[in-house]
Chains A and B, each alone.
Chain A
Amino acid sequence: MLDFVQQVIGGIALGCVYGLIALGFVLIYKATEVVNFAQGEIMMLGAFLSFTFIATLGLNYWFAFLLCVISMAILGAVMERLVVRPILGYPQFSIVMATIGLGLVIRSLVGIIWGTDDLRIETPFTGGVVRVGSLVLAQDSLSIIVATGLLCVILYAFFRFTRVGIAMQATSQNMLAAYYMGIPVKRMFSLIWSLSAIVACCAGILLAPITFIHANLGFLGIKAFPAAVLGGFGSIPGALAGGITIGIVESLSGFYLPEGFKDVAAYVVLLAVLLWRPQGLFGSNALKKV
């Protein structure tokens, strides 16, 4: 039983990271109907930046975290401006290919700048444990869960109460009407890319202590994609729920099932859920009017 609970909590922590990457997919998709396949690589870039700030420059963890978030926000907007904006309005396929290309570029650049060795960072939580009865929980895992929760509250408040947040929702619901309201739609797109880069960056920094930072970290994006689909592409709570589901399933199947099941578990769950609910866990049947 103890093992089970421990595995579940470890799974939730990993799932939160999937969920955050999936959230990045969903934010961009909802607003611009573009699937950004570079999301995993953007997350990776965030992790590498944190390595530079924390390990190389020796900055305070929290200050470094803030610096990473700011740099990624700027980089997100720059990526949108350079890669997506020029081909906006062209077929979906072109934009999707461009984001895949962007992912490859980021992966190569990371290899050139940071090399291909596995890197590690130390955080205030590294090695720390929390004991609840006979349960031993790593602080690293708990910090991921707490930080994800916090981030969700911030995002919720942002979208619900701020003028820019509501304008982002408005833009994603009806772009033409957003133009008529005087909302600078193109600037909203940049902002959404920034926001989704921030979320991905947080995922990367949170993940860094429990895995190594390496140039293939971006492939995690491929696991986060089923998380987004599972939740019903386009639903923000769905992305998190999907991520956590996949995290738990992966963690449990890695522990109880023979070697190898861990890597396919996410897709098995995805197929099973899609057979039962084609619109995903939180997806709505209502088709968006275009």
Chain B
Amino acid sequence: MSAQPILRLANIESCYGPITAIRGISLDLMQGQIVAVLGANGAGKTSILKTISGVLDPLKGTIEFEGRKIQSMEPDKVVRLGISHVPEGREMFPFLSVRDNLRMGAFIRNDQKEIAADIEKMFNYFPVLRERQDQVAGQLSGGQQQMLAISRALMSRPKVLLLDEPSLGLSPLLVKEIFAIIRRLNAEEGVSILLVEQNARMALDTAHYGYVLEVGRVVMHDTCANLVKSDQVREFYLGLHGQGDHGKRR
């Protein structure tokens, strides 16, 4: 594993109007790694991703992508640099066909032939999308929409993929399937992935490194192998018995 962070957040602070969502977060995503961000509802996980992709402007702090500062950049420029976001809740274009949704994923590209080849590649990852390519996205099931959301984000050929709750609302079997593909994408395409997830078990099994968030702060970070062994993570995120000191002052 190369030690160069492709994406580095330093002391990022973001808010929605008067509500502070994240309070000084620093985080590194190494080239070629999968990094998981764990935490309960409202811990600020989604806000981190939104701040990276430029939908939310940070109050303070810097975001460096390949050594270049990108905080407060317009979202379309961030995509052009090579960061693609799979939003929470999938956010389809409900009345466009599956194929057109994928084409929109490649909006920033102009190489028609390559785009067609990439659409084929996505259909190989998710064969069910090939069968449904002419249907409008709104008619797909939740799982199929999640597959479409991931492939649509990959159509821009990103170097970094931001994945927000890919397991949301899916059956356990589908969750396994999606995570297997996330691992494949990381291994085969070499795309670095920042994964936000409530399903801690799945996330820790998949990622290389993990950050644990509580009310907008990083309270713990370590390799996933170590996090799984930690008492706090075992008790509060995996539901196993351990000797965590949740609620006490840190």
Contacts and interface: CB of A to CB of B under 8 A. Distances in A.
Nearest to A288: B94
A104 interface: no
A180 B107 contact: no
Interface centre among B78, B91, B156 (most CB of A within 10 A): B91
Given A169-B93, A174-B93, A176-B87, A182 B108 contact: yes
Nearest to B77: A182
Contact of B107 (A169, A174, A182, A289): A182
Contact of A179 (B55, B93, B153): B55
A180 B96 contact: no
A145 B107 CA distance: 36
Contacts of A174: 91-94
B108 A170 contact: no
B96 A173 contact: yes
A179 B79 CA distance: 9
B51 to A, nearest CB: 13
A138 interface: no
Contact of B91 (A166, A167, A176): A176
Contact of A182 (B91, B95, B156): B156
Contacts of B54: 179
Interface stretch (B9-17, B33-41, B98-106, B218-226): B98-106
A146 interface: no
Interface string A167-201: 10110011011111111110000000000000000
B198 interface: no
Contacts of B71: none
Interface string A154-169: 0000000001001101
Contacts of A163: 103, 107
Contact of B55 (A176, A181, A182): A176
Contacts of A170: 93, 96, 100, 104
A177 B93 contact: yes
Interface string A24-62: 000000000000000000000000000000000000000
B95 to A, nearest CB: 6
Contacts of B108: 181-182
Contact of A181 (B74, B94, B95, B107): B107
Interface string B37-54: 000000000000000011
B167 interface: no
B156 A181 contact: yes
Interface centre among B74, B93, B152, B153 (most CB of A within 10 A): B93
Contacts of A169: 93, 95-96
A182 B79 contact: yes
Contacts of B78: 182
B104 A166 contact: yes
Interface centre among B55, B76, B87, B94 (most CB of A within 10 A): B76
Interface of B: 53-55, 74-76, 78-80, 84-85, 87, 91-96, 100, 103-105, 107-108, 152-153, 156
Given A178-B104, A181-B107, A183-B104, 16 more contacts: A169-B96, A170-B96, A170-B100, A173-B96, A176-B87, A177-B91, A178-B93, A179-B54, A179-B75, A179-B76, A180-B87, A180-B153, A181-B79, A181-B104, A181-B105, A184-B76
21 contacts: A163-B103, A163-B107, A166-B96, A166-B103, A167-B107, A170-B93, A170-B96, A173-B93, A176-B87, A177-B92, A178-B104, A179-B54, A179-B55, A180-B75, A180-B91, A181-B104, A181-B105, A181-B156, A182-B79, A182-B80, A185-B76
Q: Report the 6 A-B pairs with minimum CB-CB distance, sorted nearest first.
A: A182-B79, A177-B91, A179-B75, A182-B108, A182-B76, A170-B93
